Chain A
Amino acid sequence: MDINSAITPLIGGAIIGVAVTLMLFFNGRVTGISGIISGLLNSPKSDSLWRFTFLAGLLVGGIGLKLFEPSVFENTSGRSLGAIALAGFLVGYGTVMGGGCTSGHGVCGVSRFSIRSLLATATFIFFGFISVTIIKFVTGGLQ
């Protein structure tokens, strides 16, 4: 752990902070990605366009990363496709139930010191830790 391994994620985080600020300043909205996606599944059509264009922006950004720095998509987690499928399902189900994910609760909610978001963030980090610890134990990786 050296200083450079802290600076890059700090700058990346600050860029995310700028992005959510623009969304608030211009559109008056929280950049909660699970909410933006789930809103497309149950919201009136009149409220859909900005959600679509946001997701398009994420994808175009992803394509840019893929073209210029494909290493950012390295996935060496070793998780099986079955585990990934279950993970996706739980993340979808849980984020709609809990009204947010890492962006909505973790960044936007924590920034405005929302008690709900602070509690939700502490909860998903704690259960994420439990999840990773159990998986390590089951797969024999717990030294």
Chain B
Amino acid sequence: MNQAGISFIVGLIFALGLGLSGMTQPQKVIGFLDFSAWDPSLLFVMVGAVAVHAITYRLVRRRSSPLLDNEWHVPQRKDITLRLIMGAAIFGIGWGLGGFCPGPAVTALASGEIRAIVFVVMMVIGMLLFIKTEKYLPLKK
């Protein structure tokens, strides 16, 4: 099995986890962000995922390198930038507005539902716009 094959399997498992946990249903995400009618599902999803990975991350990183690569590609930055906070804020506004984040939206494309398709198309346009106009923004990397 090569890296591309592993990535496929990871995507497959990830999609099943999203579906089982209810995260492909925007009303559950919106419900989590609505404290007057709170749906805690998303909190449990994050607790479940972090509980597993907080342990496995440390175990895996004891190795000198990943199994199929010569080096780790894990972000190491610790600096807090305006760009990080502004980006997260803009993402959060869109997340609350649509109830989709990137993973569930791509998974929901398989449903053929028009809202998932429109969301993903506009998401890619938003990404492209940022990439193309980044150099004009007064934000350091």
Question: A interface vs B, CB < 8 Å?
Answer: 1, 5-6, 8-31, 33-34, 37-38, 41-42, 49-66, 69-70, 72-77, 79, 81, 83-99, 101-103, 105-116, 119-121, 123-133, 135-136, 142-143
Contact = CB atoms under 8 A, between A and B. Distances in A.
B115 A75 contact: yes
Most chain A CB inside 10 Å of its own CB: which residue of B51, B73, B107: B107
B45 A65 contact: no
Majority SS at the chain B contact face: helix
Given A90-B91, A96-B87, A136-B36, A61 B13 contact: yes
B107 A61 contact: yes
Given A16-B13, A58-B12, 17 more contacts: A9-B45, A17-B49, A28-B69, A55-B11, A58-B107, A61-B13, A62-B106, A62-B107, A77-B26, A83-B98, A87-B97, A92-B130, A96-B130, A103-B103, A113-B54, A120-B85, A128-B96
A130 to B, nearest CB: 7
A26 B70 CA distance: 10
A97 B130 contact: yes
Most chain B CB inside 10 Å of its own CB: which residue of A5, A57, A81, A123: A57
A88 B118 contact: yes
A15 B78 CA distance: 28
Contacts, number: 486
Given A37-B127, A61-B11, A65-B15, A114 B75 contact: yes
Interface string B97-108: 111111101111
Contact of B14 (A16, A87, A124): A16
Contacts of A49: 3-4
A23 B10 CA distance: 6
B92 A61 contact: no
8 contacts: A9-B42, A13-B49, A20-B53, A25-B60, A60-B8, A94-B90, A125-B92, A129-B34
Closest 3 CB pairs of A and B: A57-B11, A98-B87, A12-B21
Nearest to A29: B73
